């Protein structure tokens, strides 16, 4: 599970990141409006912890972008602004939860697990696109009801593509989702290419009604034929 911590207070940001890393989350951080917007709008996260007051802008504007782009990241607002107006504004814009500072790390961890659990319950732990279906609980993939064997990284990459249908995902975004902080390694970029190549073959052989299209030098997107 990947979490993006958007918080300008260095000590709090580091404390949250350390705590979540100990809970086996893959954690990334941002401390300014610009860096936070770049990451939140480019990469997929299972949960975004979003502070409202940021250098350069408001966290609520980042939330607007996430929802306008129809990204599927869960968002929990963490802010010292504990007014009813701020809370309602965030929830009205599509935030999944609101946690006022100061808070206990155990409660934050519980809130993260809760929003991710609710999200998974809504999708019944399956993702569908065209005649493709991914079963997240059993890590099984089928095309038109017929199971197709995928290796672990193939499954992870296809999950990322199916979770963002018809959206061009850069090779670095795919590698970052799959390998985390080590995504810029040249070997990982080459591996993305080989795994996508294998996925294309398997989709074609299984008579999938969708395909993985490439934009040279940029990345890939999953779309209907």
pLDDT over 90 (residue 181): no
- Percent pLDDT > 90 in the chain is 48
Using alpha carbons, list the distances in angstroms from residue 96 to 45, 46, 74: 14, 12, 6
Residue-averaged pLDDT of the chain:
87
Kindly indicate the confidence band of residue 37, based on its pLDDT and cuts at 50, 70 and 90: very high
| pLDDT higher at 211 or 100 | 211
Kindly indicate the confidence band of residue 189, based on its pLDDT and cuts at 50, 70 and 90: low
Kindly indicate the confidence band of residue 73, based on its pLDDT and cuts at 50, 70 and 90: confident
Q: For position 90, what pLDDT does the model report?
A: 82
As assigned by CATH, the class of the 2-122 domain is alpha beta
| pLDDT higher at 141 or 71 | 141
Asked if 56 and 8 count as a contact pair (C-beta separation under 8 A), the reply is: no
Mean pLDDT across 170-176:
84
Token pair 């009205």: residue? 92
DSSP letters, 185-209, are -HHHHHHHHHHHHHHHHHHHHTT-S
Helix (H) or strand (E) holding 93: none
CA distance 102 to 114: 19
Neighbours of 7 (CB within 10 A): 25
Those residues with Cβ within 8 angstroms of residue 140's Cβ, 6 or more apart along the chain or in another chain: 134, 147
As assigned by CATH, the class of the 126-224 domain is mainly alpha
Q: Which two tokens stand for residue 223?
A: 């779309």
**Phi and psi angles of residue 200, each rounded to the nearest 5 degrees, phi first:** -60, -45
pLDDT, tens digit (0-9, with 9 covering 90-100), for 127-162 = 889 999 998 878 899 999 999 999 888 998 999 899
Same CATH topology for 2-122 and 126-224? no
Asked if 180 and 2 count as a contact pair (C-beta separation under 8 A), the reply is: yes
Which residue ranges make up each domain of the chain?
2-122, 126-224
Q: For position 200, what pLDDT does the model report?
A: 95
Q: Which two tokens stand for residue 80?
A: 């010292």
Kindly indicate the confidence band of residue 113, based on its pLDDT and cuts at 50, 70 and 90: confident
Q: For position 20, what pLDDT does the model report?
A: 94
| pLDDT higher at 72 or 98 | 98
Q: For position 1, what pLDDT does the model report?
A: 82
């Amino acid at each position: 599970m990947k979490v993006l911590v958007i918080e300008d207070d260095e000590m709090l940001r580091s404390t949250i990141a350390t705590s979540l890393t100990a809970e086996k989350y893959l954690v990334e951080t941002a401390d300014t409006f610009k860096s936070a917007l770049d990451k939140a709008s480019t990469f997929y996260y299972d949960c975004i912890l979003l502070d409202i007051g940021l250098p350069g802008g408001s966290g609520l504007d980042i939330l607007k972008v996430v929802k306008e782009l129809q990204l599927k990241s869960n968002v929990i607002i963490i802010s010292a602004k504990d007014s009813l107006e701020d809370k309602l504004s965030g929830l009205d814009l599509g935030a999944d939860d609101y946690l006022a500072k100061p808070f206990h790390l155990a409660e934050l961890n519980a809130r993260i697990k809760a929003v991710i659990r609710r999200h998974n319950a809504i999708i019944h732990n399956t993702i569908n696109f065209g005649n493709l279906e991914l079963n997240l609980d059993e890590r099984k993939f089928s095309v038109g009801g017929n199971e197709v064997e995928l290796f672990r990284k193939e499954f992870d990459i296809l999950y990322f593509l199916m979770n963002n249908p018809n959206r061009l995902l850069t090779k670095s975004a795919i590698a970052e989702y799959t390998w985390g902080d080590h995504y810029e390694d040249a070997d990982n970029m080459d591996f993305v290419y080989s795994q996508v190549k294998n996925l294309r073959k398997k989709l074609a052989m299984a008579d999938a009604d969708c395909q993985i299209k490439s934009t040279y030098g940029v990345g890939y997107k999953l779309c209907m034929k």
